[in-house]
Amino acid sequence: MEETIKLRDEFIKLGQALKAANLVESGLDAKIVIGDGLVSVNGEIDTRRGRKLVDGDIVEFDGNKIFIKA
């Protein structure tokens, strides 16, 4: 699945993006999958739930891609 998230502010946090794309059900689920190293940002594993995503970032999780657009 591919999803595009349109930014309302300068950035969205990684955990929030996973929830917004309906890839996790809660913030706790986001924390777990991110902490377990299952999420990559721009091709690199990132374990920071608070990672700020900006225009052009691409998040991948469980075969899904999230594109961040301004």
Cβ(41)–Cβ(14) below 8 Å: yes
Bridging pattern class, strands 64-69 and 58-61: antiparallel
Cβ(58)–Cβ(42) below 8 Å: yes
Domain ranges of the chain: 2-69
Q: What is the arithmetic mean of pLDDT over 23-37? A: 97
Q: How confident is the model at residue 21 (pLDDT cuts 50, 70, 90)?
A: very high
Q: How confident is the model at residue 4 (pLDDT cuts 50, 70, 90)?
A: very high
Q: What is the DSSP secondary structure assignment for residue 18, as one 8-state letter?
A: H
Q: pTM above the 0.85 mark?
A: yes
> How many Å apart are CA 26 and CA 32, to the nearest integer?
10
Q: What is the arithmetic mean of pLDDT over 38-55? A: 97
Q: What pLDDT is recorded for position 6?
A: 97
In terms of CATH architecture, what is 2-69? Roll (3.10)
Q: What pLDDT is recorded for position 60?
A: 98
Q: Based on C-alpha coordinates, what's the Rg of the chain? A: 10
Q: What pLDDT is recorded for position 57?
A: 98
